[in-house]
Amino acid sequence: MTVPPPIVAPSILAADFAHLADEVRAVEGAADWLHVDVMDNHFVPNLTIGLPVVQSLRAATELPFDVHLMIEDPRRWAPGYADAGAYNVTFHAEACDDPVALAKDLRSAGAKAGLAIDRDTPIEPYLDLLPSFDTLLIMTIKAGFGGQRFIPQLLDKVRAARRHVATGHLELRIEVDGGIAADTIEQAAA
């Protein structure tokens, strides 16, 4: 098993939405992926961009899109993001009754499949599902709002996932999402 090298995926949630295409182009030389936070004002209490914006941004950049769905009923919407050209589509375990089936659908649509675990959700019940996924996104804040402070204690979930991946010889990218900045990125990468 090889651990993939760290990547940087800035979130467009931090962008100036009035100049979104320009903001995306501004990170092209520094970012590996572009993290796209989709919120529906149901699963989380905030509303952000949706599928039409992702479709139009796809023409503005060659960066791979890492779409993070913080939405109810991801089975209904997730395949559309894969069809729109998202490289990776991640949905929350808390919002899906059959995560493995949705992962298969996403892979069939040509995207990588990601599973997200929110701040207050134990990771242990989902460890055995990891062979069905390409990425595991662990929230280091409560999903739903940008600008929250990083909670370093949540890195224990990352460590548990890394141990599980290592013992199971899985090929899985572990993502850390929330409060990542100059003073927290090293902790997350380690």
Please tell me which residue in 37, 66, 118, 134 is annotated as part of the active site. 37
For the question of residue 22 being annotated catalytic, the response is no
Give the Å distances, CA to CA, from 60 to 41, 46, 51, 69, 107: 26, 25, 15, 21, 24
Q: Which residues lie closer than 8 Å to 131 by C-beta, 6 or more apart?
A: 168, 170
Q: Rounded to an integer, what distance in angstroms lies between the CA atom of residue 104 and that of residue 155? A: 28
DSSP string, 50-62: -HHHHHHHHTT--
Please tell me which residue in 40, 66, 134, 177 is annotated as part of the active site. 177
Q: Considering Cα of 156, then 3, then 97, then 77, what sign does the dihedral take? A: positive
Q: What value, to the nearest 5°, has the Cα angle with vertex 96 and ends 95 and 101?
A: 160
**Is the distance from CB of 110 to CB of 82 less than 8 angstroms?**
yes
For the question of residue 37 being annotated catalytic, the response is yes
Q: Which residues are catalytic?
A: 37, 177
